[in-house]
Amino acid sequence: MLLRDRLRVPVGEPVDLSSYGTSDIPAGPTDKAAGAEAMTGLAPRLAELQERLYASSTAGDRRRVLLILQGMDTSGKGGTVKHVIGYLNPSGCRVRAFKAPTAEERSHHFLWRIKRSLPGPGEIGIFDRSHYEDVLVARVHELVPRRDLGPRYGQINRFEESLAEDGVTVVKVFLHLSYEEQRARLLARLDNPEKHWKFSSGDIEDRALWPAYQRAYETALERCSTDGAPWYVVPADRKWYRNWAISTLLLEHLEALDPRYPEGDFDVDECRRRLLAT
């Protein structure tokens, strides 16, 4: 069974995050050493498929991939970008981290800044947070009236459906972290002066809202896991497993696309003869 089938959130069914283990190993390597070895084995195939995807775009193939990473603070969104995307050619990647919207962004529809950051044909886009912040943070902190919040789920589904129709493979990953592991990671940041820039007192305040965030994620996963853009729940307490699982999910989607190198529009033998004559 493919990992994507094991981690996929069922479409149209209620979601209870407490039933998903944050340190589970649903499939694959069973310890850190094996995980590192498996990651090394994935790297060449990932790089090859990325190159093939980019190459195919030069011949008019509009397909591309969008990896969306969501999760509580310290769940590993940035770490995923560092350890997983590090295997890819950066010239074919488009990475965007979404923070609190600017004044200009707030003056537009909430999907405006997302649409401006989408990957182009042949690219792999990576979103560290995404349009889902507008049904997560906005819901928990009551930044918009509830009557305006409800329609956003349908707008997100229609938006992601339009992406699929335009050749975008959307891979949405929820990094499922435990309350206890988040505390340990925040303490580690406090203990290391070089990590203080990653810490905010707001992280502590948000921990008081943990149950509300879990309910908000459950609603988002339940209402926005579709056949065309499903959600995947990745256990995130073990960093090495998180990295392997997301790398594998990305690889499986690229293999399903099976991009091909385009054929040259020139006579190979003639060009070789001319080149040798120079």
Structure tokens at 99: 């923070």
CB 77 within 8 A of CB 175: yes
0.85 exceeded by pTM: yes
The 10 Å Cβ neighbour count of residue 218 is 17
Query: Which pLDDT belongs to residue 84?
Result: 83
| Residue 122: pLDDT over 90 | yes
Could you give the residue ranges of the DSSP H alpha helices within the chain?
3-7, 32-57, 77-83, 103-106, 112-115, 133-140, 146-165, 179-191, 201-207, 210-224, 239-257, 268-276
Structure tokens at 167: 């050749």
The residue type at 156? I
Task: Count, in order, helices (H) and strands (E) of the chain.
Answer: 12, 5
Could you give the CA distance from residue 248 to residue 13 in angstroms, rounded to a whole number?
A: 25
CB 70 within 8 A of CB 172: yes
| Residue 87: pLDDT over 90 | no
The residue type at 69? L
Structure tokens at 26: 């649903």
CB 205 within 8 A of CB 140: no
pLDDT tens sequence across 26-85: 999 999 999 999 999 999 999 999 999 999 999 999 999 999 999 999 999 999 988 888
Mean pLDDT of 92-109: 94
| Residue 243: pLDDT over 90 | yes
**234: closest CA among 213, 217, 219, 209?**
217
Could you give the CA distance from residue 150 to residue 131 in angstroms, rounded to a whole number?
A: 14
